[in-house]
A and B are shown apart, each in its own frame.
Chain A
C-alpha cells in the first residue's frame, strides 16, 4: 500500500499528465473523424520497451477513467506476460479502475493480434497495439510516397500486390495484417489480427482505436463503419479454415484455434485462442 501512495503522490491519474492526454485525445478525435486515416502524434517514452504496446498503452491511459473496467489480452490470452504486465501497470497508476478477464464486463480492452470472440457492444472500446501502421509499406518504402498514395487514392500497386499473389499462389497469401478499405476511402492496416477477425471490424457496434507507439501514429474505426478486406470479384475473401478441428478443452469449432504440437512425434491439438471465452464456455458446459 505504501508504494501505491507514493505513485498517487507523484504521478497524475493514469501515469501521463493532462496536457499529454489532451494531445493524444485530440489525435483520437481526429482519427475517429477521418476513419482509417493515420494521425501522427507525439508518442512519449513509456516504461515499456518500444514494440511492447507503447502505442496501445498511451491510448488506454489517455481515455481511461476511474469507473472503467479494463481487460488486456495478448494474442487472445489474458495471462501472457505482456498482458499481465500492462494490466498491472495500468491498475497501479490508475487507482479505482476495475480489472477483468471477462469480455462482456470490460469497458476498455487493450489487445494485441486478436479481437475477442464475443461480439463487442457500443459501450466498449477496443484498443489495438500496432507494430506497422502503414498498410502500403509492403509495396512502397517511402513515407512521403505512401502519404501521397493515400491522399490521391492511388492504390493500384497494393491491388497489384494482391493480384501477383493470386497469379503465383492461386490466392492471396496474407494471413495477418490483411489490408482493408475503411469507409470506402483509406486503405488501412488492421494490425496483425488473423483474417478470422477482419470481418468483425465491419459495421461493428464498438469503437476500435489503433495505436502505433514506435511509428507515432493513431487511427480508428468508428462504430458502424464499413470495413472491407481488399478482394477481387472473382476471388472472394476467405477466413481461416480449420477443417472441422475442435478446441481440445471446450470443444468449440466456431472460434479461432491455435494449433499446438504436443509430442515429438508431431501429435497436435487445437485450443481456443481466446482463453477467457474458452474458460467461460467450459464453465457453462460444466466440462
Chain B
C-alpha cells in the first residue's frame, strides 16, 4: 500500500502571470481566466498520491485542467510544484541521476530534471493513450512501425525480433497482427485506440496515462476498449491515471476519483463514494447530469 507517485502543488499558467491570477480564478470565481491579465490558470495547487497498481480517475468538464494535468505528468507541459516517484521504481540506468540523496524514499523533483532525463524516464516507465489517435500515432507509418519505434528508441536492432514483439502486443490488444504493416490511417477508430494501447505497453509501463480514450467511439466499441484496458491492467499490474469527462468510464476503471473544476481539485474520494454521496455542489451537479 505504498504510493508510486506523489504530486504536490502543481500549478500551470498559460500566459504571463500577475498577482491577481490566483485570486480571480477558480471554482468560486467560476472562471480560469485571470480578470487582470487574461492568463489561463490551468491547474492550481493540485496534489495527490498515486499508489502501486491503483487506477485514479480525474473527472471534470472541458477546461477543468484535467488534460493539462496529464500532460504535466507526461512531461509535455512545464509546471510549478513537484512530482516524485518512489526511488525503487527508477530504472537502474537513471538511478544515479534521479535519486534524491537526502531522501532515499523519493526521487528528485521530476519537474525540474533535464529534458533528456525526462524523456528517458518517460520512455522507461510511462505509456500514454490520447483521445485523438493522431496525437499518439504516426498515421503515415505502419501500425507495427509505430510500436517498433519505441523498441528502436530503446536500442533494438533486429527486425525479426521486433516484429515478433510488435505482433505479440497487437495480439494482446486485439488488433489482427496480419494488419501490422498497414498504416493506422486505414483502421477504424476503435482499432486505432487499440494500436495506441499496444504502443503504450511496449516497455511494460509502471504508469499508464489515459486521456479521454473512449470519447467519440461507438458504445459497443467503448465497452470493448474499456474491457481490454481492465484486462491488461489485471495482467500487467500498472497504475493508471484515467482522465475523462464520462463518469461511467471512471466508474468502471477507477477505485479513487478526483473531481476538478477551473483548475482546482474540488473533491476527491473513493469512486463509489463520490458518485453515491457527492459533497461539493459541482460534483452533485455532475452526478445529477449523468446519463
- Which residues in A have some Cβ–Cβ distance to B below 8 Å? 151-152, 154-157, 159-160, 163-164, 166-168, 232-235
Q: Which of B144, B150, B158 contacts A167 (CB 8 A)?
A: B144
5 further A-B contacts with Cβ under 8 Å, apart from A151-B116, A156-B150, are A155-B152, A159-B152, A160-B149, A168-B181, A235-B159
Which residues of B are found within 8 Å of A164, using beta-carbon distances? 141-142, 145
Given A167-B144, A167-B181: A156 and B149 interface contact (C-beta under 8 Å): yes
Task: Find chain A residues with CB under 8 A from B153 CB.
Answer: 154, 156
A63-B160 Cα distance, complex, nearest whole Å: 47
Given A152-B119, A154-B119, A167-B181, is A160 in contact with B158 using a C-beta cutoff of 8 Å? no
The answer to whether A234 and B145 touch across the interface, beta carbons within 8 angstroms, is no
For the complex formed, measure the closest distance between the CB of B209 and the CB atoms of chain A, giving whole angstroms: 20
Distance (Å) between the CB of B122 and the closest chain A CB?
12
Q: Is B157 part of the binding interface, using a Cβ–Cβ cutoff of 8 Å?
A: yes
In chain B, what residue has the closest Cβ to A232?
B159
- Write out the residue numbers on chain A whose beta carbons fall within 8 Å of the beta carbon of B116: 151-152
Q: Which of A154, A155, A156, A233 lies at the interface centre, i.e. has the most chain B CB atoms within 10 A of its CB?
A: A156
Q: Mark B143-171, 1 if CB is under 8 A from A, else 0.
A: 01100111011000111101000000000
The total of chain B residues at the interface (CB under 8 A) is: 19
A-B contact pairs, 12 of them (CB 8 A): A152-B116, A152-B119, A155-B152, A156-B150, A159-B149, A159-B157, A163-B162, A167-B144, A232-B157, A233-B158, A233-B159, A234-B160
**Mask for B109-144, Cβ within 8 A of A = 1, else 0?**
000000110010000000000000000001001101
Interface residues of B (CB under 8 A from A): 115-116, 119, 138, 141-142, 144-145, 148-150, 152-153, 157-160, 162, 181
CB nearest to B154 among chain A residues: A156
Chain B residue nearest to A148 (CB atoms) is: B115
Task: Across the A-B interface, give the 10 residue pairs with the lowest CB-CB distance, nearest first.
Answer: A156-B153, A159-B152, A233-B158, A156-B152, A160-B149, A232-B159, A234-B160, A152-B116, A233-B157, A167-B181
Q: Which residue of A lies closest to B146 (CB)?
A: A160
CB distance from A56 to the nearest CB of B (A): 34
B152 in contact with A163 (CB, 8 Å) = yes
Q: Are B148 and A163 in contact (CB under 8 A)?
A: yes
Docked-complex contact A163 and B159, CB < 8 angstroms: yes
Is B142 within 8 A of A167, CB to CB? yes
What chain A residues lie within 8 Å of B159 (beta carbons)?
A: 163, 166, 232-235
Name which residue of chain B comes closest to A152, CB basis. Answer: B116
| A160 & B145 in contact (Cβ 8 Å cutoff) | yes
The answer to whether B160 touches A160, judged by C-beta atoms less than 8 angstroms apart, is: no
Q: Which A-chain residue is minimally distant from B158 (CB atoms)?
A: A233
* Complex CA–CA separation, A99 to B131 (angstroms): 65
User: Closest residue of chain A to B151, judged by CB?
Assistant: A156
CB of B119 within 8 A of CB of A160, answer: no
Nearest Cβ in chain A — how far from B113, in angstroms?
A: 13
**Bound form: Cα–Cα A168–B116 in Å:** 32
The 8 Å CB contact of A234, one of B150, B152, B158, B181, is B158
Residues of A within 8 A of B162 (CB): 163
Q: Which residues on the B side are within 8 Å of A163 (C-beta)?
A: 145, 148, 152, 159, 162
A164 to B162 CA separation, bound complex (whole angstroms): 12
A267–B117 Cα gap in the complex (Å)?
A: 59
* CB neighbours of B158 from chain A (8 A): 232-234
| B152 & A167 in contact (Cβ 8 Å cutoff) | no
Inter-chain contacts of A151 with B (CB < 8 A):
116
Distance A166 CA – B153 CA, assembled complex (angstroms)? 18
Are the C-beta atoms of A167 and B119 separated by less than 8 Å? no
Residues from chain B with a CB closer than 8 A to the CB of A168 are 181
Name the B residues within 8 Å of A167 (CB-CB): 142, 144-145, 181
**Measured CA separation A152–B117 after assembly (Å):** 10
By a CB distance below 8 angstroms, the chain B residues around A157 are: 149
